[in-house]
Each structure stands twice: as structure tokens, then as C-alpha cells.
Amino acid sequence: MTDRPDDAPLLVHRKGAVETLVINDAPRNRMSLEFMDALEAEIERIAQDADVRAIVIRGSGDEHFSVGMDLKQLPAGIQRMGSAEAVFDQRLRVLAAIENLPKPAVAVLYGYCLGGGLELPLACHFRLAAEEGARIGLPELDLGTVPAWGGSARLTRCVGRDHALDMMLRAKKVSGPEALRIGLVNEVWPLAELFDRADALATELAAMPAEAVAGVLRCVVEAGAKTLEEGIAEERRAVLATMGTKDQREGIQAFLEKRKPQFNQ
């Protein structure tokens, strides 16, 4: 753990090349104004830190990932930042920065994952959910409004129009197994195993060749906004960026020698 105080809104743990970011407001892990400020600064730092090659985002404790924004803070946020739009713009900016990281982000979903508590995971590259107890959704219609952090767009891209409408128009909260069925999460695990599995996945991803990982992320994340030809051109740029690198030479040599490659050395 870093030297942050125990009551800091964002806690950071580091193990090898994996950094774990913890929403520190148990049990509900609301995403406060202070949390978003800290998260924005940390994501900016991670993007520049070559020693961090994968991240895990989770909540504090094992009851809930997050219920999203602390709505009681919205008036203070508007006063501090000048408008509701400015408050939401920061959150959109932070989520876009996570989505566009050149290293994989793994979100751990359990308990309540509602509103911003789903919008943040939707910006991550992998989502793992608890087999039991998860309540995952964008129930903003229950508040008379709509998702404000890009959730409607990202959810539709993730699960398709029909499932997205079903979840949002009914303010529906799905379980971990249902989220897996509709393609909202990559894996489902018993809660007792979930956090270890997220760490293992992040460690596996961190061991992959960093330059090639960044290239794949760039190609895939940007694919929805590009034509096929533009996507292929981006892929070509990513391929050429890896040619002759130490990791690329190691990968080929390991293949020829029939052994597991050792990347990022």
C-alpha cells in the first residue's frame, strides 16, 4: 500500500506490475468529489508509469463495489466546479482516460454496482462479477433521469441494443450469472474467490508484452469509431511498432525454442 492515510478516498496497492485502486467508502463505496479528483490524478500517473502494466479497480470491503455518485454532494460539486455539466464532464474525462489506458484495467463487480458503479467498470477492459449477491445496473430512470457518465453508450456497445434497453428502461438490476449471459462481464466467480481471480488475471495480463498490449488496446477500443479500413490501418501501425522490439524478438525465440516467453525484461 502507498503512504495514503487509511481514510483517503482512494487507496492504492501495488504488487509487482499490478496496481489495485480501491474506492474507500465502505460499505457502499460512493464515488465522492474527492475520490474522482484522486482517481483522475492516479490514472494520469499510471498512464506514464512503465512499471505498472495492469490495474484492478475494486471497492473497499466485500459488500459492494459501488452505488455510484454521492448525490448529496452534487450541490457542492456544482458550486465548486461551476455547473452540473462540469461535474459530469470530469467523470466522463476520467472514464475515458481509463478506457484509453495503454494497459489493461480489470473491474471487480460484487454487491451493488449501480449507476456510476457500473459506468466505471464499463470503461474497463475486463469485468469479473460475483456469482452470488451482485446487483448490476443503470437504474437512473428510478431517479427520473438518465445515465450521465457514458453508461448508455458503453452499455449498448457491450451488450447490444435490446439488452441495454431492457436494463435501462426497466431500471433492471442483473445478477452476476445474468451479466455473464448477456456479455456484460467476462467471468463469474464465487465471491470468496473473486478478488484472487481478478489479481491473477491482472498478473497474467501484466506479463504480456507491453508494447503489443498497448497496440491491441488501441486497435480494439478505437474500433467502434473507425471504418474497417481505418481499423486495419491502425492495426498495421501497432504491428510495425512492435517489430524489432526486445519483446518481439523474445516471443519469436521462445516459440522456436518451445518455451514460455519472458516479456518486459
216-262 per-position pLDDT tens digit: 999 999 887 777 788 888 888 888 888 889 999 998 899 889 999 99
- CA 96, 25, 134, 201 dihedral sign is positive
Mean pLDDT value across residues 154-159 = 94
How crowded is the C-beta side of 186, counted as CA atoms within 13 Å?
Answer: 15
pLDDT in tens, 25-56: 999 999 999 999 999 999 999 999 999 999 99
CA–CA distances in Å: residue 76 to residues 28, 34, 87:
20, 11, 10
Q: Identify whether 222 is a catalytic site residue.
A: no
At residue 170 the predicted structure's pLDDT band, cuts being 50, 70 and 90, is very high
H or E segment to which residue 130 belongs: strand 126-130
Predicted confidence at residue 54, as pLDDT, reads 98
Question: What average pLDDT score do residues 54-76 get?
Answer: 95
* Reported confidence tier of residue 3, pLDDT bands at 50, 70, 90: low
Instruction: Tell me if residue 140 is catalytic.
Output: yes
For the chain, percent of residues with pLDDT exceeding 70: 99
pLDDT above 90: percentage of residues in the chain: 83
- Tell me which of 119, 131, 178, 211 is the catalytic residue: 119
Contact 147, 119 (CB under 8 A): yes
Q: Which residues of 107-127 are buried (b: 16+ CB within 10 A; e: fewer)?
A: bbbbbbbbbbbbbbbbbbbbb
Strand order in the sheet with 126-130: 10-15, 18-23, 54-59, 105-109, 126-130, 187-189
Give residue 2's pLDDT: 54
Catalytic residue among 19, 42, 131, 140: 140
185: number of CA atoms within 13 Å, CB side?
30
pLDDT score for 1: 44
